[in-house]
Amino acid sequence: MNESVDQLCPNCGLCCDSTLFADVELRAGDDAKRLRKLGLTIEKKTPTKLAFAQPCACFDGKLCGIYSDRPKRCRTFECGLLKKVEAGEMAADTALKKISEAKQQAEKVRELLRSLGQREEQMALTHRYAGAMSAPVDLADEMNAERHGELMLAVNNLMSVLQRDFLK
Ligand code: SF4
Ligand code: SF4
């Protein structure tokens, strides 16, 4: 790991835990058979594309369990914060504060999903959100309707933070 990765990534994991991505596509040169043996569940995403779903089965909550064998997309992805810290445009401490803010916002979304009965923690965050929002809302249940509103707001806030700090 380079120094910036070492400083930021073990405190983050948002590109492995499904907060940023619902899946990761394999690229030319990735050995799907070997990656399956290492623990990734790789499936056809389209007739020509293979992918594995997030949260990644090889993510231990802090680090990648197959770091030296990880797929190409994982090797090449650098979020906006990492790029800025590597380029000397942002201090690592500032980036860590932004990571903490994004993680808190993502946890708020997960808590609201749980409170609405969406407890499939192994499903990507965006799919969990879609499932919760497509369920009928009982408007007579004020608490339930209120939580749906809070969830929409929390997801919008999370998206803003991710777009601003990670996906540029
Ligand atoms: S989102 Fe950025 S800082 Fe976080 S783990 Fe991924 S590359 Fe590292
Ligand atoms: S293979 Fe490693 S780097 Fe890639 S998504 Fe999984 S845990 Fe993250």
CA of 157 to the centre of ligand 2 (A): 25
For 144-163, the pLDDT digits (tens) are 889 999 999 999 999 999 99
pTM exceeding 0.85: yes
Q: Which residue's CA lies nearest to atom 2 of ligand 2?
A: 64
**How far, in whole angstroms, is CA 64 from its chain's centroid?**
13
Q: Which atom of ligand 2 is nearest to the CA of 21?
A: 5
CA of 165 to the centre of ligand 1 (A): 10
Distance CA 164, CA 168 (A): 7
Return mean pLDDT, the chain.
96
What is the secondary structure of 5-27 as a DSSP string?
A: HHHHGGG--TTTSSSS-SEEE--
For 55-102, the pLDDT digits (tens) are 999 999 999 999 999 999 999 999 999 999 999 999 999 999 999 999
Strand order in the sheet with 42-46: 23-25, 49-53, 42-46
Reference 81, options 26, 156, 22, 20; nearest CA is 20
24 lines ligand 1 (CB under 6 A): no
CA of 50 to the centre of ligand 2 (A): 15
CA of 11 to the centre of ligand 1 (A): 8
